[in-house]
Chain A
Amino acid sequence: AQSVTQLGSHVSVSEGALVLLRCNYSSSVPPYLFWYVQYPNQGLQLLLKYTSAATLVKGINGFEAEFKKSETSFHLTKPSAHMSDAAEYFCAVRAMDSSYKLIFGSGTRLLVRP
């Protein structure tokens, strides 16, 4: 069975500080991994995805994530937080069954302090 675990339901950083949101996956087959962002009262928007082409994936809004097989991790980073980054972030792995559904982590709410 596949799953993802997001460590930390809430992360608080100062504006301009490094953002690090953690995601670990469990998968018996090579995983396809995604990060989505959800702003208040909105749907989910894709930040980036890992599809085995490159281990360092760059996404929108200055975010990037690195796939590390040895650590079963796909952590999301951004060098300098902006106030507009405050949102909820979800890591997900693609299921390898007939649905190809996304299996989501429980989410991490990012707070950015001025």
Chain B
Amino acid sequence: TAGITQAPTSQILAAGRSMTLRCTQDMRHNAMYWYRQDLGLGLRLIHYSNTAGTTGKGEVPDGYSVSRANTDDFPLTLASAVPSQTSVYFCASSVTGRVTDTQYFGPGTRLTVL
């Protein structure tokens, strides 16, 4: 079982350009999440989706958008990248959004915005 796949693995992006980070899970999980990881700050939630067709904002949503057209895919789009969006991005999923559910993480996308 692949679990969660993310693409690309890494990317260098010019400031002002747009980019979509892809996330696909094959576990039929209802809930999906996007986090960013920055040194000394741990991981912070960008956006989430408790079920297909719904999304919500996390702690740091500015400059990012998401969509959830189906259960498996949860792409994250940067409309106009800025250097402060340089980070490692992790997609995660859980069976439901229940508090006891384990969140499973993908391998991450390392993004550098110059």
A contact residues vs B (CB 8 Å cutoff): 9, 32, 34, 36, 41-46, 49, 51, 90, 92, 94, 96, 98-102, 104-107
A-B contact pairs, 21 of them (CB 8 A): A9-B40, A32-B100, A41-B108, A42-B107, A43-B90, A43-B106, A44-B92, A46-B103, A51-B100, A96-B99, A99-B45, A99-B97, A100-B31, A100-B97, A100-B99, A102-B35, A102-B43, A104-B43, A104-B44, A106-B40, A107-B42
Question: Could you tell me if B105 and A44 are in contact, using CB atoms closer than 8 angstroms?
Answer: yes
Q: Could you tell me the distance in whole angstroms from the C-beta of A63 to the nearest C-beta in chain B?
A: 15
Chain A residues within an 8 Å CB radius of B90: 43-44
Q: Does B58 contact A (CB under 8 A)?
A: yes
Q: How far is the CA of A42 from the CA of B107 in the complex (A)?
A: 5
Question: Could you tell me if A90 and B33 are in contact, using CB atoms closer than 8 angstroms?
Answer: no
Q: Could you tell me the distance in whole angstroms from the C-beta of B31 to the nearest C-beta in chain A?
A: 8
Per-position contact with A for B21-35: 1 when CB-CB < 8 Å, else 0? 000000000010101
Chain A contact surface mostly: loop
Chain B residues within an 8 Å CB radius of A46: 102-104
B contact residues vs A (CB 8 Å cutoff): 4, 31, 33, 35, 40-45, 48, 50, 56, 58-59, 90, 92, 97-108
Question: Could you tell me if A101 and B45 are in contact, using CB atoms closer than 8 angstroms?
Answer: yes
Q: Could you tell me the distance in whole angstroms from the C-beta of B112 to the nearest C-beta in chain A?
A: 15
Question: Could you tell me if B107 and A99 are in contact, using CB atoms closer than 8 angstroms?
Answer: no
Q: Could you tell me the distance in whole angstroms from the C-beta of A114 to the nearest C-beta in chain B?
A: 27
Nearest 6 A/B pairs, CB to CB: A104-B42, A43-B105, A101-B45, A44-B105, A51-B100, A100-B97
Q: Could you tell me the distance in whole angstroms from the C-beta of B27 to the nearest C-beta in chain A?
A: 14
Chain B residues within an 8 Å CB radius of A42: 107-108
Chain B residues within an 8 Å CB radius of A43: 4, 90, 105-108
Chain B residues within an 8 Å CB radius of A45: 105
Q: How far is the CA of A28 from the CA of B48 in the complex (A)?
A: 23
